[in-house]
Chain A
Amino acid sequence: GEDVEQSLFLSVREGDSSVINCTYTDSSSTYLYWYKQEPGAGLQLLTYIFSNMDMKQDQRLTVLLNKKDKHLSLRIADTQTGDSAIYFCAETFTGGGNKLTFGTGTQLKVEL
């Protein structure tokens, strides 16, 4: 079945870039997503990329997709304390309708 993996924790200094990584096993992925969850809140869609794209940039966010290695990353430029949250990658896949398979989430801590 589908499997999506992320490291559990990442700590960066304010102003540095953060890179959150994700690997997935399903070669029939259609879309790949990044969601952000702040403490006590639901999930907020940050960005998503179609599986035949390599890169997508949206202001401070850059998504890179290496389809050969099944590796997805989210780069946050000029990381701020307000970026502290849990970040989830997720995928939909061919034949799966609109069902999402989530990674375990990466807790990003931004230090002053």
Chain B
Amino acid sequence: DVKVTQSSRYLVKRTGEKVFLECVQDMDHENMFWYRQDPGLGLRLIYFSYDVKMKEKGDIPEGYSVSREKKERFSLILESASTNQTSMYLCASSSGEQPQHFGDGTRLSIL
């Protein structure tokens, strides 16, 4: 089974902090994705990566950056956290055109 692991289930940070959300997958997938989920809005794509050191902006990249130094790990970075970034963050991975597999999510609160 594919395993996508997000480092924290719950996280509380303060406005202005730099926040790192980590995601690791164990299936040698080349594709990795970061989404945020908000009630009534579904999932929206923040950033994605199709290869090591490669990144592409999704639909809502503002206020975020990413890092992919190793194939199995994809990090989402909030450069200066703001209250409107309080949300559920979901990481996913896939290979080729195969379905994406998701982690359990990180519920992030910015105070």
Interface residues of A (CB under 8 A from B): 4, 8, 30-31, 33, 35, 40-45, 48, 88, 90, 92, 97-100, 102-105
Contacts and interface: CB of A to CB of B under 8 A. Distances in A.
A99 B48 contact: yes
A88 B42 contact: yes
Interface of B: 4, 31, 33, 35, 40-45, 48, 50, 58, 90, 92, 94, 96-105
A43 B48 contact: no
8 contacts: A41-B104, A42-B90, A43-B92, A44-B102, A98-B50, A98-B96, A99-B45, A99-B48
Given A4-B42, A104-B40, 5 more contacts: A31-B99, A42-B102, A90-B43, A97-B31, A98-B50
B42 A99 contact: no
Contacts of B101: 45
Contacts of B50: 97-98
Contact of A8 (B40, B90, B102, B103): B40
B97 A92 contact: yes
A42 B103 contact: yes
B105 A41 contact: yes
Contacts of A88: 42-43
3 closest A-B pairs by CB: A42-B102, A43-B102, A102-B42
